[in-house]
């Protein structure tokens, strides 16, 4: 049996509670990668209120023109546990359909989460469709526990890309 002094045990518990965690998720789609990336990522702030009005009340750019450093704000309906979320684009390679963003306000920042980033890559699939790969990394505030939030986050990401997919299938000339 391993024994720790009480002070050391408290340090270990605090470190574990404030540790960085992550989750990954993949979503298959029949839509080509460039189209799905443009709609589900780059232009989502424009389309979300139209395609998912039951979740996104409004959305708009706060800073920038959509390049690295740009900030977008999403305002949510009561369907979400928080009313607002702002994210900053940290990395973008539009040709490779890849980006990384950081949550900078709302969405649990300061109340449950210290930091959170998402890396999204939409890769071409052999079928002509695509595979969306999402890697999310987050650091919880001390004392905060994750229950079903990861499952909810994966469901939300899936809903975003499936709404984008449905829009593109219904509008085959859009975003070509």
pLDDT tens, residue by residue, 35-44: 999 999 999 9
Q: Which two tokens stand for residue 158?
A: 């899936």
pLDDT tens, residue by residue, 95-127: 999 999 999 999 888 888 999 999 999 999 999
- Residue 79 is predicted with a pLDDT of 80
Of 148 and 69, which is predicted with more confidence? Answer: 69
Q: How confident is the model at residue 15 (pLDDT cuts 50, 70, 90)?
A: very low
Q: Per mean pLDDT, which range of 6-15, 49-58, 159-168 is the poorest?
A: 6-15
- Residue 139 is predicted with a pLDDT of 93
Q: How confident is the model at residue 18 (pLDDT cuts 50, 70, 90)?
A: low
Per-residue pLDDT at 142 exceeds 60 = yes
Mean pLDDT of 139-162: 88
- Residue 4 is predicted with a pLDDT of 42
Per-residue pLDDT at 3 exceeds 50 = no
The domain 19-170: what is its CATH number?
Answer: 3.30.530.20
Q: What is the pTM of this model?
A: 0.85
């Amino acid at each position: 049996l391993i024994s720790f002094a009480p002070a050391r045990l408290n340090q270990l518990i605090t470190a574990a509670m404030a540790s960085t965690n992550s989750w990954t998720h993949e979503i298959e789609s029949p839509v080509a990668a460039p189209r799905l990336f443009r709609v589900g990522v780059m232009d989502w702030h424009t389309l979300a209120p139209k395609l998912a009005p039951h979740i996104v009340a409004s959305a708009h750019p706060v800073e920038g023109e959509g390049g690295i450093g740009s900030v977008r704000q999403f305002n949510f309906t009561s369907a979400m546990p928080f009313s607002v979320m702002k994210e900053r684009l940290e990395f973008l390679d539009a040709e490779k359909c890849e980006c990384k963003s950081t949550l900078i306000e709302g969405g649990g920042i300061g109340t449950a989460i210290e930091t959170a980033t998402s890396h999204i890559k939409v890769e071409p699939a052999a079928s002509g469709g695509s595979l969306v790969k999402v890697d999310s990394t987050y650091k919880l505030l001390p004392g905060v526990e994750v229950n079903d939030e990861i499952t909810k986050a994966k469901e939300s990401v899936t809903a975003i890309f499936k709404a984008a997919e449905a829009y593109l299938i219904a509008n085959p000339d859009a975003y070509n």
